[in-house]
Structure 1
Amino acid sequence: MAKNLQVLILEPDNELRFRGPFTDVVTANLKLINPTCRAVCFKVKTTAPKRYCVRPNSGLIKPKEQMTVAVMLQPFDYDPSEKNKHKFMVQTMFAPDGEIESQEALWKDVSPENLMDSKLKCVFEMPPVENNVEVLEEAVNQTSVKHAQQERQASPKFYLFILTTAKSVAMTKV
């Protein structure tokens, strides 16, 4: 049997781009647009569930309405040589008439011929170093501030040393 075409319009339609640095949560937004005259149930799945938080990860989109889904990549040590194969799948089906009591039961009982899906790959982008000195400096400063605060509590003399060193490094850049 032929696969049903996806009724939702996805923006972006084939890949989610995450722009580093990846030291904090990085969010990519996925817009789901329902151009039909029927309500559509959706569910977002991933090949790497521990690396992402998706909100909302399922729901109902009324006719002619849209919804934005936030896909949040958890912090990690980025390695450009590592091949990324993370993918997302947006599964959809037309909502049954009447009240939906349980999305979970609805998805469990749906027959495969009533499902539609779209797949998106993940792309990790690290800003080029030479063009983004400010981004790198901010990341270093954030790390330095956290470290300095910890050191200040542990050893006030060492904190003064770090503070003096940071100032002298900043002065040499000018």
Structure 2
Amino acid sequence: MTKPEQVLIIEPQGELRFRGPFTGSPVTSYIKLINPTSQKVYFKIKTTAPRRYCVRPNNGMLKAKEIIEIAVCLQPFEFDPTEKNKHKFMVQTVIAPEGDTDDFVNDVWKDIDDDLVMEYKLKCVFENPVSTNAPGKPSETNASKADSNTTNGKNKATGDAIKPSLTPLRESEDMLFRAATKIQELKIEESQLRQECLKLKEEILKSQSILDKGANESSGRFTSGPVERSNPPLSLSSTTMIAAVVMVIVGYFLGKLI
């Protein structure tokens, strides 16, 4: 009896890629599971090389319209491009039975009918960025062997084998976090520069004030307050002449009246 068609959307499709170098620290790739249905779906992740990988989470449950990302961690090892790789992963899923109310995943898989289990396979591909070819030629390593139902059973290094995989959601979140952190650092630097600029302006104003004060003192002038200016008093001779003119005019008018 054929297996039922997979209801989950699984990314990437067909191949799970790991990019080296593979020594020193683990290399992580991701499997995204999307439940487009209105039903609850249980899942379980299996591999042909359980000692070489760490999968978190390796089983669980997806509610309707829910999305989950599975981290697949490849343990460090000495990469040999001539070694044939047969590592594969299989995603098993099953729709929650009618009337299912608990979320105990292990109990679900104990009593499930194998004919209801949906399966999806991914083969592992190792990409080593360290070139081992002749100078001027790009390094292309595909340690994945095709399935037994392929035409010749040999590895393929065609354009399909080196097409870029989808960007993992976690990588996008990391990039956003780093960008937010950088923006915050730039804001702090901007605030510090503003404070330094204000201090510099204050120092310039103080220096200018000291220079102006020194210049005023050397010239004998004081600029601490407004300078009141008064008109110089008229001399005695000028006052006498004005009084005489006024008396002549008054006498003229008195003569006219008499």
Q: TM-score, normalised by structure 2?
A: 0.49
Partner of 1:3: 3
Partner of 1:167: none
Deviation at 1:125, TM superposition (A): 0.4
User: Once the two structures are superposed, what CA deviation does each residue of 1:4-63 show, in whole Å capped at 9, x if it has no partner?
Assistant: 000111010111000000011000011000011101000000000000000010000111
**93, 96, 117: which one aligns with 2:119:** 117
Alignment map for 1:126-145 (pairs within 5 Å):
126-129=128-131
Establish whether residue 39 from structure 1 lines up as the match of residue 31 from structure 2.
no
Establish whether residue 14 from structure 1 lines up as the match of residue 14 from structure 2.
yes
Structure 1 residues 76 and 128: alpha-carbon distance in aligned structure 2, compared to 1, 3 A threshold = closer
One-letter code aligned to 1:87: K
Deviation at 1:2, TM superposition (A): 2.4
Partner of 1:86: 87
Structure 1 residues 59 and 88: alpha-carbon distance in aligned structure 2, compared to 1, 3 A threshold = same
Partner of 2:76: 75
One-letter code aligned to 2:122: L
Establish whether residue 64 from structure 1 lines up as the match of residue 90 from structure 2.
no
CA distance in structure 2 between the partners assigned to 1:15 and 1:6 by the alignment? 17
Q: What is the root-mean-square deviation in Å for CA atoms of aligned residues?
A: 1.6
Q: Greater relative contact order (Cα 8 A, min sep 6): structure 1 or 2?
A: 1
Structure 1 residues 63 and 124: alpha-carbon distance in aligned structure 2, compared to 1, 3 A threshold = same
CA distance in structure 2 between the partners assigned to 1:44 and 1:115 by the alignment? 13
One-letter code aligned to 2:112: V
Deviation at 1:99, TM superposition (A): 2.4
User: Once the two structures are superposed, what CA deviation does each residue of 1:51-91 show, in whole Å capped at 9, x if it has no partner?
Assistant: 00000100001111110000000000100000000000000
Partner of 1:144: none
Query: In terms of mean alpha carbon deviation, does 102-111 or 118-127 score higher?
Result: 102-111
SS at match of 2:60: strand
More strand by share: 1
Q: Give the percent of matched residue pairs that are identical in Structure 1 and Structure 2.
A: 58
Aligned residues: 132
One-letter code aligned to 2:123: K
Deviation at 1:128, TM superposition (A): 4.1
More helix by share: 2
Task: Look at both structures and tell me which one has the larger radius of gyration over its CA atoms.
Answer: 2
> CA contact under 8 A between 2:21 and 2:130: conserved in structure 1?
no
SS at match of 1:71: strand
CA distance in structure 2 between the partners assigned to 1:126 and 1:100 by the alignment? 44
